[in-house]
């Protein structure tokens, strides 16, 4: 696959606009490779590093893996592609099913991390987890479904060690 390395913010607008539609996080620990759809994400800069943040509910299979793998790839399909796959990976757990096989994804090695990328996508971030933070609901009520104590999330801070897009002349 031909790729072009980019600065992490070069395609920030497309990346951020993809969050509400869902993008794909892949993490690998030993022989376990799993993909899940994420949408609650931030792109930013902290500790003098480019950072990709996402929150993962502790009930996810991905939560189990990412705590051990400590790295993940962010895989973004552009132009509203792969809607079905995004929905599938956001409504099925890797505990029960091999989502790579089911979605017929092609997996390729990353350059700087162990977790591979999904070549079917267009924009990629390779991230190393450098910090995590449990999300605390400061309002003390359970009225917000996604912030209630029953829906505990862990926030992961991934240092973006490499960003690239498919295609390009390099
Ligand atoms: C559009 C969309 C966005 C989602 N964003 C998140 C998210 O940011 N964090 C999260 O924990 N779950 C999110 N989910 C739900 C997970 O993708 C879903 O529970 C998935 O089945 C977990 O897979 P796993 O158990 O294989 O890790 C999202 C689902 C969809 C459809």
Output the residue whose Cα is nearest ligand 1's atom 13: 38
What mean pLDDT do residues 28-39 have? 97
Nearest atom, ligand 1, residue 92 CA: 21
**Whole-structure pTM value:** 0.95
Pocket of ligand 1 (CB under 6 A): 22, 34, 36-40, 54-57, 60-62, 87, 90-95
What value does the mean pLDDT of the chain take? 93
Ligand 1: atom nearest CA of 57 is 11
- In terms of C-beta density within 10 A (0-12 exposed, 13-18 middle, 19 or more buried), how is residue 91 classed? exposed
Buried b (16+ CB within 10 A) or exposed e, 9-46: eebeeebeebbeebbbbbbbbeeebbbbbbeebebeee
pLDDT digits (tens, 9 = 90+) for 7-27: 999 999 999 999 999 999 999
Correct CATH for 3-166 of 3.40.1010.10, 3.40.50.1370, 2.30.110.10, 3.40.50.720 = 2.30.110.10
Distance CA 120, CA 70 (A): 23
Comparing 55-59, 66-70, 124-128, 136-140, which segment has the lowest mean pLDDT? Answer: 136-140
């Amino acid at each position: 696959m031909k790729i072009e390395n980019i600065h992490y913010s070069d395609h920030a607008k497309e990346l951020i606009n993809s969050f509400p539609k869902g993008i794909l996080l892949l993490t690998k620990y030993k022989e376990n490779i799993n993909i899940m759809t994420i949408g609650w994400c931030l792109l930013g800069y902290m500790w003098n590093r480019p950072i990709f943040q996402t929150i993962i509910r502790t009930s996810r299979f991905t939560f189990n893996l990412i705590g051990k793998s400590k790295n993940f790839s962010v895989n973004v399909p552009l132009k509203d592609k792969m809607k079905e796959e995004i929905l599938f990976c956001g409504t099925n757990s890797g505990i029960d099913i091999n989502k790579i096989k089911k979605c017929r994804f092609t997996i390729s090695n990353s350059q700087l991390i162990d977790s591979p990328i999904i070549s079917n996508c267009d924009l990629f971030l390779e991230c190393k987890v450098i910090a995590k933070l449990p999300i605390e609901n400061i309002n003390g009520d359970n009225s917000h479904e996604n912030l209630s104590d029953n829906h505990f999330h862990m926030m992961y801070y991934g240092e973006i060690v490499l960003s690239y897009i498919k295609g390009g002349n390099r």
